[in-house]
Amino acid sequence: MTIIKFIKKYYYLFLFMFVVGFVSTGASPYFHPAPHRDSGIFLYIGDRILSGDVLYRDLWAHRGPVVFLINSLGLLVAPGSVWGVWIIETVIIYFASIFSYKFFEKLYGKLPAVLTTIFWLFYFNLIRSSNFSENYYVLIQFALLYLFLKAESAESKKMHYFGIGAVAAIGFLTRMNMVGVAIVIILIWLWQMVVKKQGKEYFQKFLISGIGAFTVLGITLIILYSKGAFFEFIEQAFLFNFSYFGGKTIPFLSLMEHANNTVEFVMPFAVTGWLLSILWLFGKFSENIKANKMILVFSILYFPLEIYFAGLSGEKYTHYLMPLFAAIALLSGFLFYLIQEFLPKTDIWKSKLKLNQLVVCIVLLGFVFFPRIDHYTYSKIAA
């Protein structure tokens, strides 16, 4: 395979490398040399782990171990600097963009996949501050979506089920409320198992996914037990959080308003996609436009669930909204796909680009990006 053929085939690898690099600049240590409160705590604990302290036994922490291990690794990459953590975080978001593209390409084709991924990357990074747990969760979300789509396709393999369980467990070990994707998968599989009478097939999926989850959790717990930190881990990462979250949930409509005020145009865009998903699921529309009904059900359930999780602590911190962007991407991707399919597929003069594709690009750029470019370019970098 020549270099040109390789670039044509895997163009998205280079495209998203550029996009992620660009949108991540505003959160880099160049503009924010001093870490924020949470990041400072994670970095301190990561540094103490490198010095030989045992997490939970010698260091009190109410998050799962994943974020602290990432910070330790970042300090190994760039000792005494926050640059290492930012580099790892940017790589994680890059891989999330690749999973996002592959997921939406399989569903809707290349153009909606590219536009949807650029869409969520832009807004995700617009409200992003470096080194929050939510920044790392985005890879887990899109990896799970991709694995779920593969598990429900003709290409389904046992490794996809195992991967779903293992990746979901890593999300749980990042932060205990980062299980939205896993919960929706469980609900859909239960529906297929009980209502659709596909018990044998979905029992196998549950079993293998459970093995994947217990493998990751089991290895983690064995390590913690061997270090004398097992009971401290249970107390700090679970019991404390249950106590902290108890009875403090923000009302749903208040969270919707908070999300709309934070990312402005995105919420009406997502709600439109959510309503269209419901209409498309239960209505009768053009047979020429194919939509994966299981993914539509997933989107309808997932969007309100992530909003609920964002309000569990009773605080309206901006970074709590970041897991919502995977749900917004699902809804926006469907919306881009509908716009593309409903419009005439007329060739533009002397061009391979079709009219419907051009209109989708104009909608994305004209109504989504341009109203926020000035904010991104100046406010974000100067903050």
φ/ψ of 5, rounded to 5, equals -65, -40
Confidence at residue 378, expressed as pLDDT on a 0 to 100 scale: 39
Average pLDDT of the residues in 34-49: 91
Confidence at residue 129, expressed as pLDDT on a 0 to 100 scale: 74
Out of 35-44, 73-82, 307-316, pick the least confident.
Answer: 307-316
pLDDT of 128 over the 90 cut:
no
Nearest to 275 by CA among 254, 247, 303: 303
Out of 20-29, 159-168, 194-203, 339-348, pick the least confident.
Answer: 339-348
DSSP 251-294: PHHHHHHHHHHHHTTHHHHHHHHHHHHHHHHHS---TTS---HH
Average pLDDT of the residues in 56-67: 93
pLDDT tens for each residue of 196-241: 778 888 899 999 999 999 999 999 999 999 999 999 999 998 888 7
d(CA 180, CA 192): 19
Confidence at residue 317, expressed as pLDDT on a 0 to 100 scale: 81
Helix (H) or strand (E) segment spanning residue 104? helix 83-108
Confidence at residue 125, expressed as pLDDT on a 0 to 100 scale: 72
* Pairwise pLDDT comparison (315 vs 349), residue with the higher score: 315
pLDDT of 366 over the 60 cut:
no
pLDDT tens for each residue of 299-343: 999 999 999 888 887 777 888 888 888 999 999 889 888 877 776
pLDDT of 289 over the 80 cut:
no
DSSP-derived 3-state class of residue 55: strand
pLDDT range class, residue 360, cuts 50, 70, 90: low
Q: What is the chain's mean pLDDT, rounded? A: 84
pLDDT tens for each residue of 260-288: 777 766 788 788 889 988 988 887 665 66
pLDDT range class, residue 376, cuts 50, 70, 90: very low
* Pairwise pLDDT comparison (14 vs 66), residue with the higher score: 66
Instruction: State both tokens at 329.
Output: 């991407």
Instruction: State both tokens at 8.
Output: 């044509």
pLDDT range class, residue 84, cuts 50, 70, 90: very high
d(CA 83, CA 311): 31
Out of 36-45, 225-234, 237-246, pick the least confident.
Answer: 237-246
- Mean pLDDT is highest, among 143-147, 250-254, 348-352, 361-365, for 143-147
Average pLDDT of the residues in 70-79: 94
Instruction: Please identify which residue in the block is written with the tokens 């020429």.
Output: 288
Average pLDDT of the residues in 230-256: 81
Average pLDDT of the residues in 19-37: 84
Instruction: Please identify which residue in the block is written with the tokens 């939205």.
Output: 180
pLDDT of 28 over the 60 cut:
yes
Average pLDDT of the residues in 77-98: 93
Positive or negative, the Cα torsion across 256, 164, 329, 92? positive
pLDDT of 32 over the 50 cut:
yes
Confidence at residue 191, expressed as pLDDT on a 0 to 100 scale: 92
Average pLDDT of the residues in 157-179: 93
Confidence at residue 127, expressed as pLDDT on a 0 to 100 scale: 67
d(CA 26, CA 231): 40
d(CA 54, CA 48): 8
Instruction: State both tokens at 222.
Output: 């064995």
